[in-house]
Amino acid sequence: MPSLAGKTLFITGASLGIGLAIALRAARDGANIVVAAKTVEPHPKLPGTIYTAADEIEAAGGHALPLVLDLRYEDQIAHALTEAVRCFGGIDILVNNASAISLTSTLDTSARRFDLMMSVNVRGTFLTSQLCLPHLMRARAPHILMLAPPISLQPKWLAPHLAYTIAKYGMSLCVLGMAEEFRHALWPRTAIATAALNLIPDADPTHARKPEIVADAAWHILTSNQPSPSGKFFIDEEVLTAAGIIDFSDYGISPAAPLQHRFLYRLAVRPRARLLNDIPAQMKRRSDRKANGISRTLENVGEQIVMNEVRLQAQARMLEEVKVRSSAETVKRLPVGLLP
């Protein structure tokens, strides 16, 4: 049976949320987990520290090493990696999970918040991957897993929270750019009920799933014996479906509540209908879009016809004026004796 027993996972942001869920899933196999996060004291709105996470990992059957790490500082990243290797003898898997989030519009995003997201999401992910590579190259089956979305350049996905999208796409570009070094990306299909979700205005955890769905998907990716191309973007639900898991009800916070799609979910590829019941609704949407398109086309044609008529009338008036001016000039040039 596939297992992460004996493997060492270096997980950024593992003190809570999805990072902690991935750590606990690996811990059940007996894996070594480096809890690399900056939370030492409990946050009023984000409960959990690197030490409480380490206790949970140990209780689940794993071996934990809590390390203070602020991804904005290169020296802290290098020190944490050195300590991880000293404690466990090496690193097999890097999970770039930590990121800063601010789902704000351009006008509402401060320079400080913008810099934070770029420093943590883009720079922190790049530097952690870069500094971890020498250790990963010594492992038998190394992996780097990014919690990052597929990339789409459709403006409608950029507009609601441009700064955050740029920062997350920076992580996605690390996946594509470092594809020769076994990188993959994982992204949830729906919103995930983490403590961070409570900080987002109007976000309702009852319409989300538990972090365990991402953790189980990560486990299947990291333990798969099937060769797969590097630089691949995975969606949690698709990974589990491929593994034979089709009932996701246990992952739901409230089974009766409709699920909210994750921010930036499936931007690169349009979601396809998974159930036969989805097909009629999808066909209706396509029909509505086609009807709207035809309506807009007819409106444009009507407007064009009106504009053409206006132009023709203007040209006719100009011709009349030219004729009048030409007649007057002709009369002026006639000899006086020939005038009527």
Active site (catalytic) residues: 164
Burial of 166 (0-12, 13-18, 19+ CB in 10 A): middle
CA–CA separation, 35 vs 142, rounded Å?
18
CB 208, CB 193: distance < 8 Å: yes
Q: Both tokens of residue 191? A: 């919103």
List, in order, residues 6 or more apart from 138 with CB less than 8 Å away. Answer: 90
* Euclidean distance between CA atoms 231 and 144, whole angstroms: 10
Distance between the two ends of the chain, CA-based, in angstroms? 115
Are 183 and 175 within 8 A, CB to CB?
yes
**251 contacts: CB under 8 Å, gap ≥ 6:** 209, 210, 212, 213
- Say how far residue 214 (Cα) sits from the centre of its chain: 14
CA distance linking residue 72 with residue 37, whole number of Å: 11
Beta-carbon-side half-sphere exposure of residue 210 (alpha carbons within 13 Å): 15
281: part of which helix (H) or strand (E)? helix 278-333
Pull the structure tokens for residue 186: 């994982």
Count other Cβ atoms within 10 Å, centred on residue 155.
Answer: 8
Give 183's DSSP letter.
E
Do the Cβ atoms of 18 and 97 come closer than 8 Å? yes
